[in-house]
Amino acid sequence: WLVHVETWNELHEGTEICETKEYGRQYIDLTRRFADVFHARGRLDPADRIDQLDSVSASPEKSQGLRLHISPDGDGLAKVIDLAGEKCWQTQPNRHSESRYLYFDADCTFLDDGLQPVRVTVEYRDAGPDRFVLEYDSADPAAAGIAQRFRHAGVQKIGGKNNWQKATFDLPYARFAGRANGADFRLSCGGAELTIRRVTVERIGQAAAETIDEATARIAADIEQLASDAMQGRGIGTEGLDRAADFLAERFAKLGLRTDLAGGGPFQVFMSSAPVPKTRQGVDWKTIDQTTGGPAAKIAEKSPQSERRRPAEAQPGPARQPVEVKNVVAMLAGEGPRADEVIVVGAHYDHLGMRFKGEQPVVFNGANDNASGTAALLEVARILSQPEKRLPRSVLFIAFSAEERGLVGSFYYVKHPLLPLDKTVAMVNLDMVGCIEGNAVMAAGSATSKLLTKSVGRVADEHGLNLIELPGNIGGSDHIPFYTHEVPVVHWMTTGGRLHYHRPSDDLETLDCGGIARIAAMAADLVVELAETEERPEHRDSGWGGTIIRNVIRLLGSAASAMAEPPQ
């Protein structure tokens, strides 16, 4: 029997289907169902099956269940060369462009029993300096659309040591269905040359697969904690905001970071103001001492509840009281002659708190704004604090407070920096990174440094994210105060979540925690690149502003920081 199923000719690529073409997606899903049915009905005898093996491999000299694949149009060309007595493949430009890929195709019976997590090990020549990625067809149920299903499995840096190295890529939801130009996965190094001597694919079992998703699980757990009702919307003056600060300080400490920069502890404390806790509507006239009379009447007790009952509060505007607010600060110390230079990674952890609907409080949990950025900040700190990492520059992690009041916490920091601003080489900000749409991430402010612009584009591409640059827009978050002091900045955010912005519906279930994990990994790679480059990013004014704009913002920031003075 020969069954011929024909769909769009773009099917072989997988990444070329336009997201707006619903029929294209339906054709691909339909073809996949056809393939599944025929696989199920046409299983080979056990003696002929290769899925009895735990691994398959390919090299120029021997292949077992895995082969190098060259498409009919010449994509995936490779030359076999002899390097130090080793036969290896070297990428070549294809016939139509300078793109260089190596495609690999596993025997169709290797994963014939369905989805299984696998690990791909690549033995490559560390010629550098560059990076390469593995791309594959994902069957992740959380992936929406073709663009997210054809995924990067990670980035491997080629350091330039000129010897053989091994890189491993874990694929938790691999679907080996020949959807990468007729192959199952591909390796690429941009337009640069890549030399490979062996590729191995092995099953890793469900237990190991579960560890692959640990970053997503960690982030979801952190957001669940930060955006729970118990945190009272992390509003200024609430016990929930203090609990969130304690949670962050504890997490930083467990990662082994220095948490003694702010007067021997993790909290940079300043004064702000908060609404008096609401217990009743308006003035409780029954409790007023009538002997004092009129609007000058006073209540003897001085609790927040009594403040709410003051006759003066019958005047327009809510009652306010001074409160202590905390930036949470931790540092990963660098090693070497540039260790006194620092990269700041920040995210604000406060939100709107609670509002009253009649007598009932409504909690604004702020999952996307900005528990998502705070969880990403913790994940970046975890990645960079691994024992094997030793960065030449230091990294300062700051969870800012009072951002929703007008960047008060970050303006306070630049007015009272814990490390010199002239030694601060860049600031990376994470705000509302929880709702990826179209596999896109936005970067504002990166035009403040030529080097930063290049680095931002590179790391986004390496992590398979579509970068939306805003060269003429500096954005509006906690990176702004650093910008006013001529520190190069980049502000990461996602395009989704608009319907829930500053609404009670901004909850965990609206977020893509896997997407947050990808953004955190990308941000960590950016910090590593900024820390390792000998060249210090040089500030330049973006198209949005210049000296005049910076001075105006600094003036406005002075007004904000005037409301945020050290506690007495």
pLDDT at 145 over 50: no
The pLDDT tens digits of the residues spanning 456-468 come to: 998 988 887 889 8
Q: 227 and 105 in one domain?
A: no
pLDDT for 43 equals 47
| Domain's final residue, options 212, 232, 255 | 212
Question: Which carries the bigger pLDDT value, residue 142 or residue 182?
Answer: 182
Decide if 307 is inside a domain: no
Residue (of 520, 497, 518) closest to 509 by Cα position:
497
Strands 130-137 and 150-158: antiparallel
Spatial distance between the Cα atoms of 144 and 167, rounded to a whole number of angstroms = 28
Q: Is residue 114 classed exposed, middle or buried when 0-12, 13-18 and 19+ CB atoms within 10 A define those classes?
A: exposed
What pLDDT, on the 0 to 100 scale, is given for residue 166? 81
Average pLDDT on 142-171 reads 65
In whole angstroms, what is the distance from residue 507 CA to residue 505 CA?
Answer: 6
- Token digits for 408? 């008060």
What is the reported pLDDT for 463?
82
Phi and psi at residue 55, to the nearest 5°: -155, 160
Number of domains in the chain: 2
d(CA 78, CA 68): 9
Which candidate, 32, 35, 63, places its Cα nearest to that of 50?
A: 63
> What's the domain range around 73?
9-212
Q: Based on the domain organization, do 136 and 248 belong to the same domain?
A: no
- State percent of the chain over pLDDT 70: 69
The confidence score (pLDDT) of residue 209 equals 55
pLDDT tens, position by position, 479-489 = 999 999 999 99
> Is the CB of residue 167 less than 8 Å from the CB of residue 221?
no
User: 482 and 404, same structural domain?
Assistant: yes
The pLDDT of residue 27 = 58
DSSP string, 397-422: EEEE--GGGTSHHHHHHHHS-SS-GG
- Give the best-scoring range by mean pLDDT among 28-42, 119-133, 170-184, 241-255: 241-255
Model confidence pLDDT, tens digit, residues 70-111: 877 778 889 999 988 889 999 888 766 677 889 998 887 776
> Does residue 133 fall inside a structural domain?
yes
pLDDT tens-digit profile of 163-217?
888 877 878 777 777 767 778 888 887 678 889 999 999 887 655 555 557 888 8
pLDDT at residue 58, as a whole number = 95
Whether 418 shows a pLDDT value over 80: the answer reads yes
Same domain membership, residue 434 and residue 407? yes
Distance CA 119, CA 47 (A): 25
pLDDT at 371: 97
pLDDT band at 308 (very low <50, low <70, confident <90, very high): very low
CA distance 541 to 402: 27
Same domain, yes or no: 155 and 266: no
Give CA–CA dist 491/476, Å, rounded: 9
Shared domain check, 137 and 234 = no
Residue 556 has pLDDT above 60, yes or no: no
Which one has a higher pLDDT value, 546 or 374?
Answer: 374
Same domain, 374 and 240: yes
Query: Looking at the structure, do residues 409 and 464 belong to the same domain, yes or no?
Result: yes
**Distances, alpha carbon 561 to alpha carbons 270, 272, 352, in Å:** 10, 9, 19
Residues in the chain: 568
Give the pLDDT of residue 131. Answer: 72
Is 345 in contact with 293 (CB distance < 8 Å)? no
The per-residue pLDDT for range 508-555, each reduced to its tens digit, is: 989 988 889 989 999 999 999 999 999 999 998 755 555 555 555 655
Tell whether the model's pLDDT for residue 477 goes beyond 80: yes
Positive or negative CA dihedral for 277, 278, 283, 285? Answer: negative
Whether 427 and 489 map to the same domain: the answer is: yes
Clarify whether residues 260 and 160 are in a common domain. no
The alpha helices in 86-187, defined as continuous H runs, are 146-149
* pLDDT score for 505: 94
Q: At 51, which CATH number?
A: 2.60.120.260
- The answer, as to whether pTM is greater than 0.95, is no
